[in-house]
Structure 1
Amino acid sequence: MAELVYRPVIGLMRTMFAALDLKIDCKGSENIPRTGGAVLVSNHISYLDFIFDGLAALPQKRLVRFMAKESVFQNKISGPLMRGMKHIPVDRKQGENAYAHALDSLRAGEVVGVFPEATISPSFTLKSFKTGAVRLAQEAGVPLVPMALWGTQRMWTKGRPRNLKRSHLPITMRIGERFHAPADQYAGSLTRRLREHVQELLEAAQRAYPARPKGPEDSWWMPAHLGGSAPTAAEVAKAQAG
């Protein structure tokens, strides 16, 4: 089936990233299967993560269908694009519809992109994972592909102004080996294993990242445990509870 929207959007994004002179370092794309269904699972630190996760699949000639919140589809600008690219709307009050849609896509041989943290992590560390990605892989009989990205939070993240000027920012992505989620195993245990894989990839991406904060005012994008001034997960939880 012709991709009348997705491929032109890819071309536009590539042009924009070239104009911004982003330094993209992506390793492990070969772990995304060239054919058949798969669940691509990523950390979530930026509003642009789905774009970079999608770019990681292009060397394998795959177009990823991302699960995204319903409000993005309701926007008069992003909505037609999201529907044209066959992404999957998630209404959290009726999650079973999105689950069924994603399951049909996987069974049809598509790669479905999932952010198991559900929302952006303001601490830039991994939050707890929901079990949906594992349950989809189990029911569809397809592999899970863990990945992590780093640096996208410096472009556009929650609570910070967008930085879409020519800034030469490095973006690092690491895709891990796919693994299967047997249907007879407990989804919670497999989800913890999945999170461990993503954590390892995130640490690898952070180690490979070629930039460090230029000073205290520029340390907001670095997690506290790495010496940055981003809030800790505990501080985020306390602020959200209050």
Structure 2
Amino acid sequence: MNTAELFGDPDQWPDDDLVAVTGVLGPHLVLAALHEGVFPMPLGRDVPRALRGGTGWWSPVRRGVLPIDRLRVARSLRKTCRRYTTTVDQCFDEVVSCCGDPGRPGGWIDGSIRATYGGLHRDGWAHSVETWDDDGRLVGGLYGVCVGGLFSGESMFHDAEHGRDASKTALMRLVLEMSTVRPALVDVQWLTPHLASLGAVEISRQEYLGRLDELVTASTPSWRPRTMSGAQLLAALER
């Protein structure tokens, strides 16, 4: 597929985060879009009726990214992460389900997203990181798609009762996995205070697109499935 034909010339994109709307979504389309710096998210009800139910394709004017060498682990996080263990790709569907809990404010993960990213996971493109407490509960996690040295993060969650800082701990494990290749970058799409506290920053759309080719053609992380304690995770990050 010639990805240059998907969304056209970025210089002609609107000065807006939303660059296109389609009525289709599928694994191959997601992969091709990521090579253009675009990702999907269903449109909500605050759009014209004719567009409702469609898939929005987004490329933020100000892109949130986490350079893996900028990860910031606060003292309080160093303490809480020791309560947990982390794994990789052990329960992808459950992580997506938790991220898509309809009780979460602003929930956007629907059936088409679940099916599409489940297919990407089965094909080895999408990955999850899980955070577990001492009782064996899944208390946090994240998922996204990895192409070369680019991890496009889709969503993360934590259990409000049992999982303080559990999503941050999952992000720490993700950074460790991505640190095995160069260049590498975690795309968090939009910057939030939660992500900024971990070292995420904003860059322009132009800068992000300019770095894509080098990132997506880099080597791919090995995605080690082994269970790591919080103490092991901290030690590995400090090497």
Is this a same-fold pair by TM over 0.5?
no
Compare the two structures and name the one with the higher strand fraction: 2
Compare the two structures and name the one with the higher helix fraction: 1
TM-score of the two chains, using structure 2 as the length reference: 0.25
